[in-house]
Amino acid sequence: MRRYLGALAFGVIGIGILISLAVWQLQRLDWKRGILANIEARIAAAPVPIPADPDPEGDRYLAVTATGHIGPGELHLLDSIQNVGPVWRIIVPFVTDGRTVLLDRGYVLDGRQNDPHAGAVTRIVGNLIWPDDRTSSTPPNDPEKNIWFARDLDEMARALGTEPLLVVAREDTGDGITPLPVSTEGIPNDHLQYAITWFLLAGVWAGMTGLLLWRISRRTA
């Protein structure tokens, strides 16, 4: 009888822990969905003028608009899009209201990055972001060859003589450049998979507990 109780307690405690972890992940799933919904609402909101002193946290994803013109120079950032392949983001200086900011106009296909871009843009609509593109495996940028691998705002701002502030266009700016608007696609939300995993492990634990009880009963017999 003592063997039965010990095995049963072992099984119940283990199953309880695993199910509690699964429920916690479901709670995290709801929390993450709320955050993503808030970000999507900020991205799609009616645009406002670019703040005079934007905050990297409070103004992240803020929808903005500005009038002005594209300044001289552009940077080519290598990127990749699913079902498209390698592309080049075109990043330029945009002069507006006595200040100059970085503008991510979107992308062109590989081989088209050196095509002439007239840049006859007078109004832009986009979103502010402070990107974190660089990882431990990202190569260093090569400004001399105009090959960039990460949107390092300080480095790009020095190269183009702008503020370290980036607007990602969400509307077409012409010249055959396809907009690549800010979205939540790159923000991971794996809590449902985690919850399913914990529930499956709880089922396995229950099966192992049943097997253990059966073996104990056989030995007792």
Q: Mind listing the pLDDT tens digit of every residue in the chain (221 residues)?
A: 666 677 677 788 888 899 999 999 999 888 888 888 888 988 989 999 999 999 998 999 999 999 999 999 999 999 998 888 999 999 999 999 889 999 999 999 999 999 988 877 889 999 999 988 888 889 999 999 999 999 999 999 999 999 999 999 999 999 999 999 988 777 777 888 888 998 899 888 888 888 877 777 776 65
**DSSP bridge pairs for 48:** 64
Specify burial of residue 76 (Cβ count, 10 A radius: 0-12, 13-18, 19+): middle
Of 19, 121, 145, 15, nearest to 70 by C-alpha is 121
Q: CA-to-CA distance for 221 and 215, rounded, in angstroms?
A: 10
Residue with tokens 């999507």: 40
pTM comes to 0.79
Domain residue limits, the chain: 2-39+189-220, 62-169
Joined together, the tokens standing for residue 53 give 């002193």
What is the distance between the alpha carbons of residues 160 and 121, in angstroms, rounded to a whole number? 17
